[in-house]
Amino acid sequence: MKITRLGIVCMVAASLIAVGSSAYSQDKKAAGSAHGIVRSGDLKWMPIIKGCELAPVGGDPAAEGTPFVVRFRCTAGTVIPAHWHPTDENLTVLQGTFQVGMGDKYDATKLDTMNPGNFATMPKEMHHYASCMTACVVQVHGAGPFKVNWINPADVIPPDAKPAK
């Protein structure tokens, strides 16, 4: 009698597992064929301004109206001169101490500090600037196209510029 009950329990358990796994495989199919995991070590960094690099993470930042994710990483003390974007810039600090300010010219006295995990939205066309107190990594997401329009291009130091004497 005990064996029979155990047998029934096992059969029920086995059928539940079977139902569960078929539901899981259907979910997997509906969601696509892969997770699309991007390993941070696989990111392709390219220099954009002196001290800062950019890496595409997801989507196509150049495409119109579709989601994208990019990352910036900058060395300690880097200043990102005043600029604006044609679309909202959603910004999450991943590492380091990042500082942002609003206006047409970088002003170290008007910076707000953001720490890892902090998030901000820079509304489209708002003029803003930033700096990294320490080496920092910042993730930006939004809907493309992602463009940086410098207020004063002369403020932008090219990535390969020689250090100032």
- Residues binding Cu ion (CB under 5 A): 89
Handedness of CA 91, 97, 103, 105 (dihedral sign): negative
CB of residue 33 to Cu ion, shortest distance in Å: 35
Instruction: Name which of 134 and 149 has its Cβ closer to Cu ion.
Output: 149
Instruction: Name which of 151 and 160 has its Cβ closer to Cu ion.
Output: 151
CB of residue 130 to Cu ion, shortest distance in Å: 7
CB of residue 129 to Cu ion, shortest distance in Å: 8
Q: Which of 154, 143, 155 is nearest to 86 (CA)?
A: 143
Instruction: Name which of 53 and 89 has its Cβ closer to Cu ion.
Output: 89
Instruction: Name which of 20 and 86 has its Cβ closer to Cu ion.
Output: 86
Instruction: Name which of 5 and 106 has its Cβ closer to Cu ion.
Output: 106
Record the tokens describing residue 129, joined without a space: 């600037």
Instruction: Identify each DSSP E strand in the chain by its residue range.
Output: 46-49, 52-59, 67-74, 79-84, 89-95, 98-102, 112-114, 119-122, 128-132, 136-143, 149-150
How many Å from the N-terminal Cα to the C-terminal Cα in the chain? 91
CB of residue 37 to Cu ion, shortest distance in Å: 27
CB of residue 160 to Cu ion, shortest distance in Å: 22
Alpha-carbon radius of gyration of the chain: 24
Measured in whole angstroms, the distance separating CA 146 from the mean position of its chain's CA atoms is 13
- Nearest to Cu ion by Cβ — which residue? 89
